[in-house]
Chain A
Amino acid sequence: MDETTHKSIGWQDELYDLLRRNRVTQFAYVPDAGHRILIARSLADPGVHSVALTTEEEGVALLAGADLGGARGVLLMQSSGTGNCINMLSLIKGGRFPFLTLVSMRGDFGEGNPWQFPMGQAVEAVLGAMGVICLRVERPEEVVPTVSAAVTMVFQSGHAVAVLLTQKLLGAKQF
């Protein structure tokens, strides 16, 4: 386990606790190394629903349904998955549903896989076009305050927010 992995474990546990304190009870994801602690914690937590998806757009619709029932959720995905969500975000924007997603970035700082660049570089443009506010995080100490701010923007103000966990934060080599 390298140093970067160690650091990410620290903030991911804190992040999970923050989401639970804010009554997030539906964790939806397409498995991704960048979110593995959050996914594992949600699977081990009898107080939440851990929902593995076949494609990320399912998570967008899931969270709208959660909101109709008065529950809160979060969508965990990799940057490549943001492209799979675009038309389903019509539901979020048109319905003014609260929407929180944490995006582990690929195709940016130090990326070695050329297939990741087209979608990775388009994330902010396409999410922005569908009305999702993007907050970038580059340093470990910024993660929890940024997600905390996003939680307020989403569940108090009713907006759609993506927190982008960049490769400068996650490290480009680990996955």
Chain B
Amino acid sequence: MAIQRERSGRKTSPVGKEFTLDRRDAVPALIGKHEDFLIISGLAGTSRDIAALTRDGAHSYTMAGAMGGACMIGLGLALARPDKRVLVVTGDGELLMNLGALATIAVLNPPNLAILCVDNGHYGETGYQKSHTSLGVDLEEIAIGSGIRATRTLSAEEELAEGARMLRDGNGAAFVLLRVKPTDPPGFKRNMDPAACRNRFRATLLDSLQPDV
């Protein structure tokens, strides 16, 4: 027997929250001047977005594994560098692997950390299988329930300006869910050596290669 559940909130596919934006336009439009941020990106799609945008810049750390870690790397960096604005750019699949990170981040609520989740509802890297967000899971609702106070879902071009403001300003952690259609991210050849990327990130930020700074 099917169980009917009462819910006060959203329907599975709220009107105006469809996956129609193109990530190739929407991600650069939202981030704007990328040099203003230290950027952590999670896995294939968003790492390609960020590598193309920053031309594989040393102020970005683009992951290609350790799935589920992007938000927490961002938290550690934000706590270490309160003088810098930290932006985590990750996908729905990567975020779904460690939803608890949203709760951990909400509890600390660092003012210099923003999370941009590029939600295409699919696992693009493995052949575009549907993710949970195509099947009724709403990551903004999860962020709200985790205790993150500044949240927004963007699914139309006219909403991007408000989203861009949230990534840059605020007195607590921000979560912006960008709904995009399931199309390929830009191609860009980036450095895939995680140790080399660590060294260049630290060298640029800390002006030294010593682990002792």
Contact = CB atoms under 8 A, between A and B. Distances in A.
Interface in B11-51: 38, 40
B86 to A, nearest CB: 8
Contacts of B206: 70
B67 interface: yes
A65 B40 contact: yes
A59 B197 CA distance: 20
Interface string B101-124: 101100110000000000000000
Interface string A48-83: 010111110111111111111111010000000000
A47 to B, nearest CB: 12
Given A51-B104, A52-B104, A155-B211, A65 B77 contact: yes
Contact of B65 (A26, A49, A53, A90): A90
Contact of A61 (B73, B107, B108, B202): B73
Interface in A85-139: 87-88, 90-91, 94-98
Contact of A71 (B69, B79, B101, B108): B79
A57 B69 contact: yes
A87 B67 contact: yes
A88 B69 contact: yes
A64 B211 contact: no
A97 B196 CA distance: 11
B2 interface: no
Nearest to A96: B195
Given A51-B108, A95-B198, A69 B76 contact: yes
A71 B206 CA distance: 11
B172 interface: no
Nearest to B102: A54
B72 interface: yes
A40 B57 CA distance: 40
B80 A88 contact: no
Given A58-B101, A97-B198, A66 B66 contact: no
Contacts of A53: 100, 104
A60 B104 CA distance: 13
Nearest to B101: A58
Interface of A: 25-26, 49, 51-55, 57-71, 73, 87-88, 90-91, 94-98, 155-156, 158
Given A61-B101, A71-B81, 6 more contacts: A25-B80, A51-B79, A61-B71, A66-B79, A70-B206, A95-B197
